[in-house]
Structure 1
Amino acid sequence: MSTAVTKVQAQEFNMNAMEPPEAALHYTAGALSKESSVIVDIVIPDNWHVNANVAADEFLKPSSIEIAARGIEFGEPVWPEPIKEYNEVLEFENLVFKGHFQIKIPVTAVADGYDSLTTNATFHYQACDNSICLAPASVDIRIGSRSGIGASGLKKNDDGADPGTAQELNGFAGNEGFAGNKGAAAAALLLFFALLGGIILNLMPCVLPVLSLKLFSLIKQAGESRKRLLALGLSTTAGILASFWILAGIVAAIKAGGGAAGWGMQFQSAGFIAFMAIILTAFAMSFFGVFEIWLPGSATTKMDAAGHKSGLVGAFFTGALLVLLSTPCSAPFLGTAMGFAFTASTPVLFLFFTAAGLGLALPYLLVSVFPAVLKVFPKPGQWMVTLQKVMGVLLLATVAWLLWIVNEQAGGMGVALFVGIILATVVFSFALGKFAPPGSSFAGEMRILIIGAIAFVFSWFAYFAPQYEQNLNERFEARMAQQVLEGGWYRYSPELVAEFAKAGKTIFIDATADWCLTCKTNEAAVLDREEFRKAMDSAGVVRMKADWTRETPEVNELLRSMGKSGVPAYAIYPKGDISKQVVLPELLTTGLIMEAIP
């Protein structure tokens, strides 16, 4: 072996390491068959190359690729023609790949029940420049996503974050946290995004109904002592954090079981929507004066103590309700941060959820610490009775929104089921007000009412839930079978993306859900307007909707490729090229979208 070769090997772990190559894979257009192929796109960073699939010398490691998918068999990969390049340091002509190149892998067999979304590949390579060769390495590639970091040529989001930030962090995040200065800096930035996104979440459409509760609570507390205000603020914060931690625990459990978790996923569950309808209806009935939420006691001192505790308990559950209603919306900055958190280890997941919770709670904490802000509110008086009823109407409007979601998902039968649940809640509220007024002993009556309510809900769901779920699935499958939607939109599918990419079409993708209020706001303000449609048509842009109302593997993969954990999420594929995906912020304008189109 020459002296030059020894010098190269001695520098294998030189700190001037090449960043992992960008990598993406997709199937050729059309129905999957023996005639199909997988195309793997590899982009090597500037001033570097990798050895070809045939090594020019025994000490060099040749490139190779492995691929697997459920129900699909693959043939031998077809590699591009290698570049012959004389290396003065190595003193021989090497065979290399550099820049952008493609590997074609033929499909040899397709079994019944195959799942192309499980396609995974691993590209093994050894990187070299003109003076050193690094230790062999590999990069994993999943269908519908970009692997690697330092995505050259990709536009940054409007919030300043690179669309590849989440993927970049995956190279530095381990089970114990973040490694390296670059990973720590990127993690700190995303953690700040989670905090900032939590603050902005207070202004998102989904949270506004519960903000009416909090506004009314703040007005009532205007005359409280500073100590009392601080206790109420901390109780609200505790409710917010507890809910975020419960959600984080559910996400961690789903991930541990191999499932797909996402921000706002609970709104895909009919049971959760029913729970929210019951809670909001009960709150509205309380605001109308039908019954009063309180903790009973047998003496005046105990009643005072109960009232004090009730205020803290009410603040806690108001905080919890804020979280439950805020999760169907993804705020600016929050989507990018949570997109990484949902792919990270469990401790990192809890850390990011805590940061988002503190952001959501921060305005209430500040009011508690600086009570002078409450002086802008008028003193409590008779006018608050009217305001309280207005708040009740707003909460019932939220219940109406939930019924609209149910109608979109399951039709009239589903609405009838939920109307029955809501009416049962109203009856229960009147019964509670009649049999359990404040200041009376009502232990026996409460037990009867609670047992009756549980029996009613259980029997209702035992009879109707199977029919509801079957109807919901049938309607959703029918929706997914539609390729062309109203207004010139196409239903998203990786196969359709591949077809339009083959035709050289630029694609705009809207990942949405029926239960996402921010999505609906963007649709009303921008995406459904004639101005937007004409702008897209004149630019020759294909518009696609990815429906996440119910969980689907295809949309899960799409969101993961965008570095997002929930909806809304928007992306542009210039000329259908998924490797140059441009991710847009959660709040849109027509001008912003047009500026992002190359």
Structure 2
Amino acid sequence: MLTAMLAAFAGGIILNFMPCVFPIISLKALGLIRHTQSAAQTRKEGLGFLLGTLVTMMLLAGILLALRAGGSAVGWGFQLQSPLVIAFLALIILSAALNLLGVFEVGLSLQRAGEISLERGAFARAALTGALAIIVATPCAAPFMAGAIGYALVQPPAVALVIFFSLALGFAAPFSLLSLFPALGNWLPRPGAWMNTLKRGLAFPMFAAFGWLVWVLAQQAGTAALAAIIAASVVLSFAAWLYGMAQRRRLAGQSHKVLHLATAVLVLAAIAPLPGVVTRGEALPDENVAQVKWTPQTLADNRGHGKAIFVNFTASWCITCQVNERTSLSTQAVKAALAKTQTLYMVADSTKFNADIDDALNELGQGSLPLYVVYPADGSAPKILPQVLTPSIVINALAQASSKKT
């Protein structure tokens, strides 16, 4: 258990540097530079981020364990298997980007309109940033994490929650340490007018995250859901602009209630149709005909019959999976190795919930994606590859597996 806790803590720290967390780095970076001369205020923001991270992780872990106790074979990142969750998360990310661009403000100072408020609402902002960071981070698994999560998912709930708590603690550690011990952040530049420019520039990683989530939604639920989220995004953006106008009119002492009402109506109009649209779409078909769809039966039928099998457990919402696909699995060298060794290439797509895939992850002792498993040609024990691939890792594994023939 102690080993799993340490692995989860280390994995949480490394998770800050994984591709999944890059989209949220703008909010974390803005939090780092929102320090003041007041050590107490800085610590308050650090505690807010830590609390938001821990509470959100415990909620997600609690829901995950409850679902599994009820018989659902769900795993790490389970919430991103729901098109509806993806749609709402995309709109939240879009709103955050518009806020960073200054379309509307959060915690706007009543005395000096347009200036970034460092004091007001800092704790709530930091807590929400921590919560959003954890939700966005779940599609990825950093080194050390897979084993720790796999261990947690087969333990009693109390033990599992301790493992997930360690993971959240590691994830929050870098930002929280800088905030709770202000002396560590003395190398950061002092707050000033330049922050307004930086704040707006940091909106663009958020737009990139929004684009990724829209793409994932299209993979999960098809073109009807894609059209719905695009329409909702336009309406929500217009509502954000009206809300910003209402804020400026309020600060100028002018009437603003009608604009607030229009904003509320538009937000409702943007999100109300989504549940009915995104949940009835079908995933777009896979265009790669060289792949064999993984099922437990297909694997059992082909295992140990003279051909090695490479199984790619993946999902559209798993950014590390997509990076490995581009940098390793889709390269000519790996394709040539697959052909030369006559390896059967199977894809287990967990973009939408698949209980068989989650059962397989559990059987292999892994709790998260990506997962790459090579089954030798002679039917001997499978080999699990690292979560971050290189072409040479895959080629060597295929050569070894295909040479083990009965």
Q: Same fold (TM over 0.5)?
A: yes
Q: CA deviation at 1:217?
A: 2.2
Q: CA deviation at 1:307?
A: 6.2
Q: Distance in 2 between matches of 1:257 and 1:207?
A: 30
Q: Which residue of 2 aligns with 1:385?
A: 196
Matched, 1:228 2:41: yes
Q: CA deviation at 1:344?
A: 2.0
Matched, 1:288 2:90: no
Q: Which residue of 2 aligns with 1:259?
A: 72
1:548 to 350, 353, 365: 350
Q: Distance in 2 between matches of 1:326 and 1:509?
A: 24
Larger Rg: 1
Q: Distance in 2 between matches of 1:366 and 1:458?
A: 37
Matched, 1:469 2:279: yes
Q: Which residue of 2 aligns with 1:268?
A: 81
Alignment map for 1:45-444 (pairs within 5 Å): 187-221=1-35, 223-294=36-107, 308-437=119-248, 439=251, 444=257
Against the structure 1 CA distance between its residues 347 and 447, is the aligned structure 2 distance closer, same or farther, given a 3 Å change threshold? Answer: farther
Which whole-Å deviations, capped at 9, do the CAs of 1:282-310 have from their partners, x for residues lacking one? 1111111111101788xx7xxxxx96341
Which whole-Å deviations, capped at 9, do the CAs of 1:462-506 have from their partners, x for residues lacking one? xxx44543322xx46x65xxxxx6273222122222332242211
Q: Distance in 2 between matches of 1:308 and 1:489?
A: 54
Q: CA deviation at 1:410?
A: 2.8
Q: Which residue of 2 aligns with 1:580?
A: 381
Amino acid at match of 2:62: G
Q: Which residue of 1 aligns with 2:404?
A: none
Q: Distance in 2 between matches of 1:399 and 1:514?
A: 14
Against the structure 1 CA distance between its residues 455 and 288, is the aligned structure 2 distance closer, same or farther, given a 3 Å change threshold? Answer: closer
Amino acid at match of 1:509: V
Q: Distance in 1 between matches of 2:289 and 2:312?
A: 13
Q: Distance in 2 between matches of 1:224 and 1:559?
A: 49
Q: Distance in 2 between matches of 1:468 and 1:289?
A: 30
Q: Which residue of 2 aligns with 1:538?
A: 340
Against the structure 1 CA distance between its residues 313 and 429, is the aligned structure 2 distance closer, same or farther, given a 3 Å change threshold? Answer: same
Q: CA deviation at 1:510?
A: 0.9
Against the structure 1 CA distance between its residues 585 and 448, is the aligned structure 2 distance closer, same or farther, given a 3 Å change threshold? Answer: same
Against the structure 1 CA distance between its residues 575 and 224, is the aligned structure 2 distance closer, same or farther, given a 3 Å change threshold? Answer: farther
Q: CA deviation at 1:266?
A: 1.0
Q: CA deviation at 1:536?
A: 2.9
Matched, 1:494 2:287: no
Identity of aligned residues (%): 31
Normalised by the length of structure 1, the TM-score is 0.61
Q: CA deviation at 1:339?
A: 1.3
Q: Distance in 2 between matches of 1:211 and 1:239?
A: 16
Amino acid at match of 1:533: K
Q: Distance in 1 between matches of 2:259 and 2:66?
A: 35
Q: Distance in 1 between matches of 2:175 and 2:188?
A: 15
Against the structure 1 CA distance between its residues 263 and 275, is the aligned structure 2 distance closer, same or farther, given a 3 Å change threshold? Answer: same
Q: CA deviation at 1:242?
A: 0.9
Matched, 1:558 2:360: yes
Q: CA deviation at 1:585?
A: 2.1
Amino acid at match of 2:206: L
Q: Match of 1:545, SS?
A: strand
Q: CA deviation at 1:236?
A: 0.4
Q: Distance in 2 between matches of 1:339 and 1:269?
A: 22
Contact 2:292 2:347 in 1 (8 A): yes
Q: Distance in 1 between matches of 2:360 and 2:278?
A: 28
Q: Distance in 1 between matches of 2:262 and 2:232?
A: 15
Amino acid at match of 1:415: L
Contact 2:139 2:317 in 1 (8 A): yes
Q: CA deviation at 1:395?
A: 0.8
Q: CA deviation at 1:557?
A: 2.0
Q: Distance in 2 between matches of 1:197 and 1:346?
A: 20
Against the structure 1 CA distance between its residues 545 and 428, is the aligned structure 2 distance closer, same or farther, given a 3 Å change threshold? Answer: same
What is the aligned-residue RMSD (CA, Å)? Answer: 2.5
Q: CA deviation at 1:443?
A: 9.2
Q: Which residue of 2 aligns with 1:514?
A: 316
Q: CA deviation at 1:507?
A: 1.3
Larger CA deviation: 552-561 vs 434-443: 434-443
Query: Which structure: greater helix fraction?
Result: 2
Contact 2:153 2:367 in 1 (8 A): yes
Structure 2: tracts of 5 or more residues without a match: 112-116, 402-406
Higher relative contact order (CA 8 A, sep 6+): 2
Q: Distance in 1 between matches of 2:210 and 2:97?
A: 10
Normalised by the length of structure 2, the TM-score is 0.89
Q: CA deviation at 1:403?
A: 1.4
Contact 1:436 1:446 in 2 (8 A): no
Which whole-Å deviations, capped at 9, do the CAs of 1:21-78 have from their partners, x for residues lacking one? xxxxxxxxxxxxxxxxxxxxxxxxxxxxxxxxxxxxxxxxxxxxxxxxxxxxxxxxxx
Amino acid at match of 2:8: A
Contact 1:569 1:586 in 2 (8 A): yes
Amino acid at match of 2:88: F
Q: Distance in 2 between matches of 1:307 and 1:391?
A: 17
Against the structure 1 CA distance between its residues 226 and 265, is the aligned structure 2 distance closer, same or farther, given a 3 Å change threshold? Answer: same
